[in-house]
Amino acid sequence: LAPHFATAKRMLGVVENPLDTPADEVMRTVAEHMGVSESFHPTPVGVFFGEPGVEVPDPFFGGDGPARSGCVVCGNCMVGCRYNAKNTLDKNYLYFAERNGTKVFPEHTVVDIERIGDEWHVTTEPSGSWFRRRRTVFVAKDVVFSAGALGTTRLLLELAEHGRLPHISHRLGYQTRTNSEALVVSVAASRDVDYSEGIAITSSIHPNPETHIEPVRYGKGSNALALLATILVDGGPGVARHVRFLKQAASHPITFLRSLSVWHWSERGIILLVMQTRDNSLRMFRKKGWFGTRLTTEQGHGDPNPTYIPEANEAARIAADAMGGFGGSTINEVLFDTPTTAHILGGAPIGPDAEHGVIDGYHRVFGHPGLHVIDGAAIGANLGVNPSLTITAMAERATSMWPDKGDVDTRPRLDSVEPIGTH
């Protein structure tokens, strides 16, 4: 993947984060207390760090791309950059695709795909429409599923359930990964320091070879996420975690009441995203219920998916002490023993054949020529890092092996051919 990582970095405008924010000072303290000071490093990010708020000609593609503006470190990367500084796809891949003749149809949701003859008929509806659902059908010989791991796997499972993909591998939905993640928070009691300053993620540390921790932020006013958090509660064997939660709330009522407040939460808080490379997985499938079928998951192969990572809680406590505040866990982990993740991966794993995977090494769906999966659904492992660059590199690799229009396809046949014996 090395050459494709290089291409992906160039296209996404990856640079090392030059900022040093209050949250990074906290992370240095966490790293020092955990004995891994040397592991602290800035993150590689896709942001233009020019003069804040000043528009300049394209700085990434030799002037061939769109004009850009310098980052103003508002912290709103994940709710949508308002200053033309974040390297979103409409400023690189989609920008050049449209300029070279590709027609983009936004706000279309695929609801059905059917093979008719040697072509695929893709039926869509307006995204978000409740009443007038005027359908549009697109016809193509090749269809690429790129709706994200959750969207792609959900659509493939629905199509298989409705008989549209009779030869799809039974491995569909397996090797669904959560990046072995946990989310914890540290919240300051006062507003003396603004932790929303910066970009979404500015640095990271590695408490051990399989664990990676990053400080995550939202901009001023993005406080609703606080409703998903509560006081920090450890897990582990013995007493059930929800019982520990009740004891913790009773023992520290003031801290518990503070955890209910969303007051300037984005400015007072740091979200710690903890990722691991451990081999654990889920199986995603559709389950019948009273009102039809719905998407659900069950434990897959490998270790159980973690609902409690000790290093995460340790880091949250250290950070909270440094900030003069308190640590927090997510409600679903504490009360329902359900893990939280920011990165769903897998569900359509690569394999040598349909017995072991949904797609081949060229990202072609076994049993259904013309269908391809090129997104996070093809990632078959917990990466332990933010996956966007790896997904892009794999997409670059897959598309680099496609023949240009009119050229001979040098890839091996998707389906095996039975030999014809001599007589």
Active-site positions? 343
Task: Answer yes or no: are the C-beta atoms of 69 and 53 closer than 8 Å.
Answer: yes
Task: Answer yes or no: are the C-beta atoms of 75 and 196 closer than 8 Å.
Answer: yes
Residue with tokens 């670059």: 396
Among residues 280, 312, 329, 78, the alpha carbon closest in space to that of 179 is found at: 280
Task: Answer yes or no: are the C-beta atoms of 34 and 12 closer than 8 Å.
Answer: no
Q: Three-state SS for 322?
A: helix
Between the CA atoms of 243, 246, 252 and 256, what dihedral angle is there, to the nearest 10 degrees? 120
Task: Answer yes or no: are the C-beta atoms of 218 and 197 closer than 8 Å.
Answer: no
Long-range CB contacts for residues 62-71, cutoff 8 Å, separation at least 24 = 65/91, 65/92, 65/95, 65/96, 66/91, 66/95, 71/47, 71/199
DSSP-assigned letter for residue 419: P
Beta bridge partners of 144: 372
* Structure tokens given for 265: 């939460």
Residue with tokens 């359900």: 338
Q: Three-state SS for 31?
A: helix
